[in-house]
Amino acid sequence: MPDNRTIEAKSGVTLLDMARSTRVSIRTRCEGKAGCLMCKVQVAGEGISPPTAAERQKLGIDSSTGLRLACQAKITASGVCDLVVTVPEDPLKAAVRRQLQQQEDDELW
Ligand code: FES
């Protein structure tokens, strides 16, 4: 999400690596070292590793919120699983989308 794409992944792969292999953009600055917190995603479903100590420390949460660092969360399911990962929209892309929507709304009047 939000592009509503379905992706197949192998067990043990991080959500960040999975995203990169399928050209889903997740911004990072620390290259997967749990340092920048830019790779936050919302996860719903089963088949994902529990939060790492680094995630718990950095995010200050438990797994019940569904908030995860894509660079730390790994696929653990060995078969088919329904895991929904929502990637926040890139801020620049969101600004462009809002501007285009505003122009479209203005043209209607
Ligand atoms: S890539 Fe920086 S925290 Fe995940």
Ligand 1 centroid–CA 26 distance in Å is: 9
Please give the pLDDT value at position 68: 94
User: Is 68 a member of any domain?
Assistant: yes
Domain of residue 76, residue span: 15-108
Q: Would residue 94 count as lying in a domain?
A: yes
Instruction: Tell me how many degrees the CA angle 84-89-90 measures, rounded to the nearest 5.
Output: 140
Within a domain: residue 4? no
Separation in Å, CA 83 to CA 52, 58, 92: 18, 23, 27
In a domain, 65, yes or no: yes
Residues with CB under 6 A from ligand 1: 28-30, 32, 34-39, 69, 71
Report if residue 97 sits inside a domain.
Answer: yes
User: How remote is the CA of residue 50 from the centroid of ligand 1, in Å?
Assistant: 16
- Please identify every stretch of the chain with a pLDDT value under 70, giving residue numbers as ranges: 61-63, 109
Identify the CATH number of the domain in which residue 96 sits. Answer: 3.10.20.30
Confirm whether 10 is domain-assigned: no
Ligand 1 atom at minimal distance to the Cα of residue 70: 4
CA-29 nearest atom, ligand 1: 2
Number of domains the chain is built from = 1
Which residues are CB-neighbours of 58 under 8 A, at least 6 positions away?
A: 34, 35, 37, 69
- Domain annotation covers residue 86: yes
Residue 83: per-residue pLDDT: 87
> Please, are residues 37 and 69 in contact by the beta-carbon 8 Å criterion?
yes
Is residue 62 domain-resident?
A: yes
Q: Which residue's CA is minimally distant from atom 1 of ligand 1?
A: 32
State the alpha helices, DSSP H only, in 1-90. Answer: 15-21, 53-59
Give the C-alpha separation, 98 to 79, whole Å.
39
